Amino acid sequence: MGTVNYRLAELFCGPGGLACGAKMARVFKGQTRYRITHAWATDYDESTCETYAQNITSGNRNTVICQDIRKADLDRLAATSPFDALAFGFPCNDFSQVGKQKGFDGTFGPLYQYGVEVLRRNQPLWFLAENVGGLQTANEGRAFDVILDAMFDAGYDIYPNLYKFEEYGVPQARHRVIIVGIRKDLKLEFKIPSTEPYQNVDVSCRTAIEVPPIGPDALNNEVTRQSEIVVQRLGYIHPGENAFDAEHRMPEAIRLHVQGARISQIYKRLDPDRPAYTVTGSGGGGTHMYHWEEPRALTNRERARLQTFPDDFEFMGSKEEVRGQIGMAVPCRGAKVIFEAILKTFAGIKYPSMDSNLPGRSRRHAD
């Protein structure tokens, strides 16, 4: 059997959600196997890089560069470790609808340019870029078009889509803009993979967390000790509700008494029969995701299951660092769907597809 292998480089690699999905992706055409392997990766956070190396490179840190992207020698990396494809989940802080959405006016918004520069200089065959849904509206919608134009001008046909991962078999309502680019001279057209094959997949968070049961010695499964007032508060909150939904049932002493904006995920319990709400990586009291029945926050392993990481994927760092890593990641199973669609595009294999839900945002050269 022959193998067509695409060596994947990553910027802003995070703990390895995209890389894990890439490793899972396998496509066969006749006697030829199409797959994706690791070339090199960069991130600025030490514990995140340790996690990536532990799980993606079997602990080898030689190709996992822990450095601020603004200081990294990307030309040297590309020269010493050739690659065929690029992935970059450029930082979302300034595009997130949860934050102030500064877009290009923020510290992190302009960092997408480092990915574009790697595309421009090295011309890999294809790329995958990822960001939050708020990218569409940052800077009154102009930021998204500027980014797409830059990618197109770098030499790529551009296929953006807002992927709702719960529609692709992921037990979590996580919506992300994914931009796939294919080098123009290859004259290949990427199709957005259809959600149809996943309509009968059980995406309830109960199944994700309980089937199979998480064992007592599971990795990253430390239980958070809840204060007595939190335990009391959770006792009044029904599955699928937050602290404000249940406020009328609570004694005055344990109500939150929040003035102004009320964040919907504060002390929100999961609805066991539905996909989880979005797993996040930061936030203070009340933002840790809460079990539908037990009076406690989820463990990191339970969060990792909602992100479809395999149980043998070990996160490195403190409990709070691990929480952050899980929250920043792309769901492995969702990434696998998109990577397999890319591999099928290159293999010339047709697959169920649909139109992009971002009409008018694609960029494609004229034949």
* Strand 85-88, strand 2-11: pairing: parallel
Cis peptide before 212 (omega within 30 of 0): yes
CB of 46 closer than 8 Å to CB of 356? no
Side-chain-facing half-sphere of 240: CA atoms under 13 Å: 6
Question: To 5 degrees, how large is the angle CA 250–CA 255–CA 257?
Answer: 145
User: What CA–CA distance (Å, rounded) separates 331 from 112?
Assistant: 21
User: What CA–CA distance (Å, rounded) separates 279 from 165?
Assistant: 12
Catalytic residue among 66, 92, 205, 332: 92
Question: Beta strands of the chain (E only): which ranges?
Answer: 2-11, 27-29, 32-43, 64-66, 85-88, 126-132, 156-164, 175-183, 192-193, 353-354
SS3 270: coil
Question: To 5 degrees, how large is the angle CA 141–CA 146–CA 149?
Answer: 130
Residue of 243, 213, 215, 249 lying closest to 230 (CA atoms): 243
DSSP structural state of residue 195:
S
In terms of residues, how long is the chain? 367
CB of 12 closer than 8 Å to CB of 43? yes
- CA distances for 296 relative to 100, 177, 232, 239, 269, angstroms: 30, 32, 11, 13, 9
Residue of 99, 101, 116, 194 lying closest to 150 (CA atoms): 116
Q: Is 92 part of the annotated catalytic residue set?
A: yes
Backbone phi and psi for residue 327, each to the nearest 5 degrees, phi listed first: -70, -25
- Catalytic residue positions, numbered: 92
